[in-house]
Chains A and B, each alone.
Chain A
Amino acid sequence: MYIKEVCAISPQLTYGTEFESGHFELHDKGILYAIEPSYLDFIPASLLRRMGKAVRMGIGAGLPLVKKYPGIEGIIIGTANGGLEDCIRFLNQIVDYKEGVLTPTSFVQSTPNAVAGQLALMGEKTGYNSTHTNGSLAFDNAMLDAQLVLETAVKPMELLIGAVEEISDYNYNIDTLNSHYKSESITNEELIRSTTAGSLCGEGATMCVVANTADHAIAEVVDQFQVCFPGKEELTGLINNFLDKNGMSPKDIDLLLFGNSGDGRTDHWYNDLQQELFPDKQITTFKQFSGDYRTAGAFGCYVAVKLLQGNHRIYGFDHLRRPRTVLVYNQFGGERHGFILLRGNQASIA
């Protein structure tokens, strides 16, 4: 499966060219809110008025791609929680008004499949459409789903895949109960080096145009792998098998892009894997840009694609040699572990 273009709305200036040119947006308030574009330029006010943040970001990152690639037939989205703000707004109405007369908009907008549904509606795409809500693996699931659709297609085909997650006061409260966030105040620049418990909360939408032909591709998704609740040694063996299955060994990986979140309780997963299998490989991280959220791995793929394209200007990446292969590894809370193996477009490297 090939990637033709990527687009992200994130806590960095990814919607324009600033992020790729080396700008780093510093967040010092403990929460990394996404920097949103002015949607009214391309989303009619009559539709925008009903959209919660998750739907808005998903449409904002996805619709321009849907418009640019008329060959896109279907849409597959991964989101652990969907439009939580609307969801809890509706829930609060239920309790506050004692199940009285309620407004349906928040209910309709809160369903996680509202993003893929709205993209299909606005882009008039009646083809394959699905939404995966499998926690931190939701984007990995969406990617494999796309791969299955594309490899059985009898003709050249494009799909839009992506991930969306929004910060709401409510899920922030619930994740705080789960001690997902740091109690001390640090900036996102300091995040990865931190070793205390918890991380910084982030959000965003990442969208990719994927296809079953290599024409104009900027990267290739070689394969992916996921596992839940592995043991440490077990994981090492599984990754060896995964690479082996794809005709590779650890030495063939040029760069490891890890989802370290600065959480001292779980970052050992990354460090252990590196020491076991990739002791002398280039390694870098992406959550200093995006903050931590369930489907941040999609943003990791966005960064990986930029690196595979030869971008050296991204903040803090000037020392990296241009990779031909990148392994993106993301886990959340040590429970679900996802690996996505990407390769650069060989033609553009040669």
Chain B
Amino acid sequence: MRKVFITGIGSISSLGLTVEQQLKSLRDARSGIGKATHFQSVYTAQLPFAEINASDDELKKLTVCADPGVTRTTLIALKAFQEAVADGKLSQQQLSDPRTAFISSSTVGGMCYTDSLYADANNKGETSEFYASYEGSNHTLQIVKKYELKGYTDTINTACSSSANAILLGTRLIQSGRADRAIVGGADCLAKFTVNGFNSLRILNETPCRPFDEHREGLTLGEGAAYLVLEAENLVGDKKRYAEVKGFGNANDAFHPSATSDDARGPLRAMRDALQSAELSPFDIDYINAHGTGTVNNDETESFAFITIFGKQVPPFSSTKSYTGHTLAAAGAVEAIISVLSICHGEIYPNLNFEQPISGRGLIPVTKLQQNKQIKHVMSNSFGFGGNGTSLIFSKCT
């Protein structure tokens, strides 16, 4: 099977509008979590959010997009897509090549403007500008149209593991020979729909999330978009190669619609399958970018899974959601890029807001920036509602 390399990256989050800006925030231990100013909700007064520091109008300027009916989901997707494609030096001809796939993902998708959807769905008031943009895959279609993409296109929604599955699928498409190149990732913006949804489940923290801490009280919602350019080894030539997509595992916890199991069967299977497909042993993993949402349930289950697989030698790990918040469908791709930066720069970005290990688990994440490290293999986890879980392994190019 041919190897699949990452040759371009693009990302936007509360840490910055570009990968470069985000890298600086990660190194400076500067979290993107704070008070939301663009997002409109009663909860902005009570809860912290990890908001992208740009209004819709600013994003339209940044992406040079004046199309009507374009939602914030599409705008942030477009911004990260443009950066990834430019970074991967893809020509228009390569973009329109039938052997270039585009796999995106989103949970809130086109439903990010709750109030206009409310009006249009209930036939109240004048039809809004967004009436044709509500589908979950609308941002994908807009990008397909704008860049005249002719290859395989897809949109995935497996909740919080969505863009991890986009990376997984793009890799398999290339491995199978059905595509030579794939642009993969996802986008989710802050929306009343998700904020109220997570709030109704009582899993939002009133202070910035504290993954893996004994006193963690829930997650912090964020927004973000990230795309990676994946290319088959025979196409890469002398292009920059950030990392190789080495292994992946996708499994279902089959336990509860909105909680993970005590025995971590889904996460364990995903992580084990990832190691197996990468042909690596647990001891080869130099760093784990954990799912680490900061909910009582997830971090307990994920810690149990770490201990089960790695025993007493759990590798250095951190949840960078303490910086970016939980960007839902985008999280897998946002964190894949952080994992790739970790490999390229030999750095581990810390888990912020950690004080005390979870009792009975005793796991302590990386809490200070570590540099000049040899990072060969990184595991990146994403677990979500519906029992969906995916674990990816990225490796240094040899």
Contacts and interface: CB of A to CB of B under 8 A. Distances in A.
Interface in B61-79: none
Nearest to A136: B137
B122 A126 contact: no
Contacts of B384: 113
**Contact size range, A:** 35 or more
A132 B154 contact: yes
Interface in A73-116: 74-75, 80-82, 87-88, 90-95, 98-99, 101-104, 107-109, 111-114, 116
A127 B256 contact: no
A249 interface: no
A131 interface: yes
B387 interface: yes
Contacts of A109: 257
Interface string B253-275: 11111100000011001000000
A107 B251 CA distance: 23
A92 B120 CA distance: 11
Given A148-B173, A151-B176, A104 B152 contact: no
A112 B250 contact: no
A174 B134 contact: yes
A177 interface: yes
Contacts of B258: 104, 108
A178 to B, nearest CB: 6
A114 B257 contact: yes
Most buried by A among B114, B145, B252: B252
Contacts of B135: 80-81, 133, 135
A113 B159 contact: yes
B118 A95 contact: yes
Nearest to B255: A121
Contact of A129 (B127, B172, B388): B388
Given A88-B121, A99-B196, A126-B251, A131 B385 contact: no
Contacts of A141: 154-155
A173 B122 contact: yes
Contacts of B37: none
A104 B194 CA distance: 11
B158 A129 contact: yes
B39 interface: no
B48 interface: no
A291 interface: no
Given A120-B252, A336-B141, A174 B120 contact: yes
A174 B131 contact: yes
B114 A91 contact: yes
B388 A113 contact: yes
A74 B160 CA distance: 19
Interface string A301-343: 0000000000000000000000000000000000110000000
B153 A137 contact: yes
A171 interface: yes
Contact of A126 (B123, B154, B269): B269
B114 A113 contact: no
B308 to A, nearest CB: 15
A92 B158 contact: no
A187 interface: no
B42 A98 contact: yes
B284 interface: no
B252 A91 contact: no
A117 B148 CA distance: 34
A176 to B, nearest CB: 9
Given A113-B388, A174-B134, A121 B257 contact: yes
A108 B258 CA distance: 7
Contacts of B388: 113, 116-117, 129-131
Contact of A113 (B115, B256, B269, B386): B386
B41 interface: yes
Nearest to B257: A108
A25 interface: no
Given A80-B136, A99-B192, A134 B252 contact: no
Nearest to B153: A228
A124 interface: yes
A104 B131 contact: no
B178 to A, nearest CB: 8
A329 B192 CA distance: 38
A104 B255 CA distance: 18
Nearest to A229: B145
Contacts of A178: 131-132
B82 to A, nearest CB: 19
Nearest to B385: A111
Nearest to A227: B150
B173 A129 contact: no
Contacts of A94: 114, 118, 192-193, 196
Contact of B251 (A81, A128, A137, A148): A128
Most buried by B among A75, A109, A144, A151: A144
A126 B255 CA distance: 9
Most buried by B among A87, A124, A238: A87
B157 A131 contact: yes
Contacts of A151: 176
A189 interface: no
Contacts of B121: 88, 91-92, 170-171, 173-174
A131 B158 contact: yes
A5 interface: no
A102 B114 CA distance: 15
Contacts of A152: 172, 175-176
Instruction: Please list the 8 inter-chain residue pairs (A to B) with the smallest Cβ-Cβ separation, ordered nearest first.
Output: A117-B386, A107-B197, A170-B121, A129-B252, A104-B200, A113-B386, A120-B252, A134-B155
21 contacts: A90-B196, A91-B117, A91-B193, A102-B197, A116-B252, A116-B386, A120-B252, A120-B254, A126-B269, A129-B250, A129-B252, A130-B388, A132-B157, A134-B140, A135-B137, A137-B153, A145-B169, A148-B173, A152-B176, A178-B131, A335-B141
Given A102-B197, A108-B197, 15 more contacts: A81-B135, A81-B136, A88-B117, A91-B114, A94-B196, A99-B192, A113-B388, A121-B256, A129-B250, A133-B109, A134-B153, A134-B154, A135-B155, A138-B137, A170-B121
